[in-house]
Amino acid sequence: MAKMAYVTDLKTLQAECSANYLRLVRLVGDLEGDQQRNIALRGDDQDFGDLQLKILQNAPYTTMLEVSQSSPMDTLWEGPTMRVHLYHDVRMAEVTDFQRERHFRGRYRYPNARMHQPDEKLQLNRFLGEWLAHALAHGHTVDVPELP
């Protein structure tokens, strides 16, 4: 039986990016350049760390964010970190960097040298969506007031 090649599901990717844009706009709020928002992820007497949203660049049509999570076990494990571009004109957010790796293609041959999944880009954007949905449902803002 012949194996079918993976075909990029552009409609699903665009829907995920649009949903992530709306989630991030809600979480980022009125932050401006070089500001950061920390959202505590807690539940039932457990500490899951803080989701950190930091604006790296802000322009009229795009915003670049760093999304990361600190962990109570930071000395043992480095939490996930990604860079996300928000495109305000089309109301979409796209993961462009993950764990210091940049520029993901829409489709990869499998197997490949880096062991990316055929739909790696979609999976990264889905992960961001689940992460942000969790923060919206269970997070608590813990922003520290700025010092004078």
Stronger pLDDT, 14 or 47, i.e. the higher one: 14
Q: What pTM did the predictor assign?
A: 0.80
DSSP 8-state code for residue 115? -
Domain ranges of the chain: 34-141
d(CA 37, CA 132): 13
Interval 63-116: pLDDT, tens: 999 999 887 666 567 788 899 999 999 999 999 988 767 766 666 566 667 655
